[in-house]
Structure 1
Amino acid sequence: MKLYSVSDGPPSLACQQLLKALDIEYELINVDFGKSEHLTNEYEELNPQKEIPTLIDDDLIMGESNAILQYLADQYDSSGKLYPKEPKLRAIVNHRLCFNLALYYRNISEYVMAPIYYDYQRTPLGLKKTKMALDIFNTYLQRENSTYAAGNNLTIADFPLVTATMCLEAIDFQLDSWPYVVKWYENFKQKHPDLWEIAADGMREISYFEKNPPVSSVDHPIHPVRKNA
């Protein structure tokens, strides 16, 4: 098994967390986003979307971190707890995965990550959208009164939500206004320190680049590249 990953990318880190939780041996292949290695012809053959991560498991080649998480849990989690098969429980996990992808990580990434690596600015609108995402997640956790993102057991929904949230911690964004998010986030750290350390490695890298913005000499075909610090 191989995982093409970016070292500070929350979707990649979420997949690494699940692989660690499942105790699966795999080859980790770092893709240098700053050097646009994901835009090479070689990588495009693996992932026509030119996105990271990409998983290779025998003859299966797939991108999209949510799909990777779902596949790995279905294929390798003998306990059935990480991605429960009971329809209502699975529906909640699927919802949280979709919520993270469509709104939570999307808003956080635009506010935190894009201004570090590209020629974007943090704006009041970006902050408002980030707070809106936190408000919604806090409401879900409060309404369900659950220990984890999708119930009282660790599931694959927690990994992408944790790695999205750590982006905020990387820039010293205070979460005090969202007590249920804080409780869930700290619980994950305390109960799963080995999995948290995977996210923490990425967080330290993001935090470093927040203070020392990287300068890219490689033009990106979609996003305006940050040319100077």
Structure 2
Amino acid sequence: MALTLYGVSDGPPTMAVMQALAYLDLKYKFVTINYAIGEHMTEEYAQKNPQKEMPVLDDNGFFLSESNAILQYLADKYPKNETLYPKNVQARAIVNHRLCFNLSTYYRYICEYALEPIFFTYERTQLRLKRALIALEHLNTYFSKLGGKYATGDKITIADFQLATTTMCLEAINCDISGYPLIQRWYNMYKVENPTLWRILEHGMNQLAYFEKNPPVLASLDHPIHPVRKN
């Protein structure tokens, strides 16, 4: 087995995959893609992922992008237990829902509010905050409906990797989530019960917190998915 993960250690989608690899006890090589100078925009990288986004998993020449797809692939190919990505149709559907919810709403709106103003020319507006709070309210409601310790029940699943990583982005900018007690309880429990996974997130969070105070200047590559931050 020769697994290679291409990404950035402070990138939330990359960190979600790193947690899965750690949870599954899989050895892998990590290749850092220098986002600031646009290594993800090169033709060489495009051969691995035409979208020129991160992360990308290389499993013996099988290249796979999109962090949700990578999580599903790893959990299916290298199963550790029956709970990380359940085989039961309805249980798996709930996990898939949370993954989709994170992609379409939770990470989308929290990223727009918390991360994009750090790296790009976007402002941290009240509208962006409102959308992030709506996403938090939705997730808090999902926790109340199922009543379990984790995002889809009493056992950790690949959905928790994504949702915990997204929630960490708010902690990186010191955003108070106490108004969403079920999320806060789960998030605090996640740190305590999964110290190996939390170390991955804490490392990335510290990097994001640094960039929050010291915004990086990104190279201009004249590409719509790589806008330039103007200080």
| TM-score of the two chains, using structure 2 as the length reference | 0.97
Unaligned runs of 5+ in 1: none
TM-score scaled by length of structure 1 = 0.97
Equivalent position of 1:137 in the other structure: 139
Note if contact 2:12-2:166 (Cα within 8 Å) is conserved in structure 1. yes
Residue 125 of structure 1: aligned partner = 127
Secondary structure (helix, strand or coil) at the match of 2:44 reads helix
1:227: how far off?
Answer: 3.0
User: What's the CA shift for 1:143?
Assistant: 1.2
Greater Cα shift, 211-220 or 32-41:
211-220
Give CA-to-partner distance per residue, 1:85-140, whole Å, 9 cap, x none. Answer: 00011000000000000000000001111100001101110000000000000000
1:73-94 deviation per Cα after TM superposition (whole angstroms, max 9, x unaligned): 0010141211010001100000
Query: Which residue of 37, 42, 46 corresponds with 1:40?
Result: 42
- AA in 2 matched with 1:161: L
Please say if residues 147 and 184 of structure 1, whose CA atoms lie closer than 8 Å, have aligned partners that are also in contact: yes
Q: Which stretch of structure 1 is more off in the superposition, 119-128 or 213-222?
A: 213-222
Listed one character per residue, the Cα deviations across residues 2-60 of structure 1 (whole Å, up to 9, x for unaligned) are 00011211100000000000000000001111111110111000000111000010131
* Deviation readout 1:58-78 (Å, 9 max, x if unpaired): 131110000000000001014
Instruction: Show the 5 A alignment for 1:143-162.
Output: 143-162=145-164
TM-superposed CA distance for 1:220, in Å, is 4.8
Between the aligned residues of both structures, percent identity stands at: 50
Moved more, 219-228 or 195-204: 219-228
Q: 1:225 and 2:228 equivalent?
A: yes
Once the 2 structures are TM-superposed, how far is the Cα of residue 217 of structure 1 from its aligned partner? 3.1
1:219, CA displacement in angstroms?
3.2
| Structure 2 residue corresponding to 1:72, chosen from 71, 74, 78 | 74
Alpha-carbon deviations, 1:179-218, whole Å to 9, x = none?
Answer: 0000110111010011011011110000000001111233
Task: Specify the alignment match of 2:8 in structure 1.
Answer: 6
Contact 2:143 2:182 in 1 (8 A): yes
Query: 2: distance between equivalents of 1:43 and 1:79?
Result: 34
> How far does the alpha carbon of each residue in 1:133-192 deviate from its partner, in whole angstroms, 9 at most, with x for none?
000000000111110011110000000101100000000000110000001101110100
CA distance in 1, matches of 2:182, 2:170: 16
Structure-1 separation of matches of 2:217 and 2:110:
22
The answer on 1:102 being equivalent to 2:122 is no
Aligned match of 1:113: 115
Segment of structure 1 superposing worse, 55-64 or 94-103: 55-64
Tell me the SS of whatever aligns to 1:46: coil
The answer as to whether partners of 1:4 and 1:31 remain within 8 angstroms in 2 is yes
Between the aligned partners of 1:11 and 1:47, the Cα distance in structure 2 is 15
> Are 1:169 and 2:171 matched, yes or no?
yes
For the residues of structure 2 that align with 1:2 and 1:214, how far apart are their CA atoms? 27
Give the aligned CA root-mean-square deviation in angstroms: 0.9
- Alignment partner of 1:30 out of 24, 29, 32: 32
Give the letter aligned to residue 147 of structure 2.
Answer: N
